[in-house]
Amino acid sequence: MKIDIESLNDQLANTNCPAAGKIVWFNRVASTNDYIMDLNDFHAVVCLAGLQISGRGRRGNSWQAPYASSILMSIGWRIDQANISGLSLACGIAVGRALKAIGVSGVSLKWPNDLLLRGAKFAGILVELADDKCVVGLGVNINIKEDQFQSPMETSTPWTDLYREGYNIDYQALVCQLITKLCDTLGRFSKEGFAPFVEEWNQNHLFHLRQVKVCGQQTVSGRVYGVSEQGGLMLETNSGIQVFYSGDVSLIPAPGTGTQE
């Protein structure tokens, strides 16, 4: 899995993408997020890597992917953090749009930062903040070899990759779409927040209108009502609508079936 930086920059320049000329590639790096976070001039800089030694997912969990098996990238953005709520959800929409643009169908979102195909995770987003600096990290499983497929990852959710789902992906074409769509989304989010993305996110949410439980400081069960304009998961419970901004979500098995409804 290789990337032609010059060609990619030309493609991005043709669409007036602000990341054009700001692409960095490493065969091996500790963390693409950390690389961007350490830069002074970080806005619209994109770091791509074949391998991350210290990759991480949500809540500081490890995120490991074998060399050249996945898209591992981060993008830096200058943003007003008073209006940051819902950013990871908006970025999920951007990734879904990029995948659709190259012919991947059936992608669904799982609150707050996962993308799935047929109920299995193949991509995740990690947003990190410092002062006016926002770094969006992204991992997309492309083709993990059979003997590597059970490598430990940060999620207990079943996982897959695009090749196993029947997609022979043009790596560079997807990277170009991801960068373009993320820049478009980050630019709009910086001005308008998450509100313009709420309807599209609900339409693509795997658990929308289904019975789930949210595990955090306590476990709460209810029916998913949608997401708020601040990116909170709204649950219809026996005591009314409750909104959650953190926690792990899972489906509740349908009564008497042992299967998830």
Please choose, from the candidates 58, 62, 61, 68, the residue with its C-alpha nearest in 3D space to the C-alpha of residue 26. 68
Looking at residue 93, its pLDDT comes to: 98
Question: pTM for the whole thing?
Answer: 0.91
Whether 2 has a pLDDT exceeding 80, the answer reads no
238 and 131 share one domain: no
Q: How far is CA 175 from CA 30, 38, 74, 109, 167, in A?
A: 20, 23, 11, 19, 15
Q: What is the pLDDT of residues 168-201, one digit of tens each?
A: 999 999 999 999 999 999 999 999 999 999 999 9
150 and 30 share one domain: yes
Q: What sign does the CA torsion over 80, 85, 88, 91 have?
A: negative
CA distance 58 to 156: 12
State phi, psi for 225 to the nearest 5 degrees: -95, -25
Average pLDDT over residues 92-98: 98
Neighbours of 69 (CB within 10 A): 20
**Contact status, residue 138 vs residue 95, Cβ threshold 8 Å:** yes
Beta-ladder partners of 139: 72, 124
156 and 112 share one domain: yes
Looking at residue 6, its pLDDT comes to: 95
Tell whether 53 is covered by a domain: yes
Please choose, from the candidates 136, 135, 133, the residue with its C-alpha nearest in 3D space to the C-alpha of residue 81. 133
Tell whether 149 is covered by a domain: yes
Domain of 240 in residue numbering reads as 207-251
Tell whether 31 is covered by a domain: yes
Average pLDDT over residues 132-151: 81
Average pLDDT over residues 76-97: 92
Overall number of domains in the chain: 2
Q: Read off the CATH number of the domain in which 244 is found.
A: 2.30.30.100
Looking at residue 3, its pLDDT comes to: 84
Q: What is the pLDDT of residues 27-67, one digit of tens each?
A: 999 999 999 999 999 999 999 999 999 756 555 555 567 77
120 and 221 share one domain: no
Tell whether 37 is covered by a domain: yes
State phi, psi for 62 to the nearest 5 degrees: -70, 140
Angle between helices 87-101 and 171-192 (to 10 degrees): 140
118 and 155 share one domain: yes
Rg over alpha carbons for the chain, rounded to the nearest Å, is 18
Average pLDDT over residues 133-141: 96
Whether 82 has a pLDDT exceeding 80, the answer reads no
98 and 60 share one domain: yes
CA distance 87 to 125: 10
Whether 98 has a pLDDT exceeding 70, the answer reads yes
Beta-ladder partners of 114: 110, 124
Whether 259 has a pLDDT exceeding 50, the answer reads no
10 and 115 share one domain: yes
229 and 198 share one domain: no
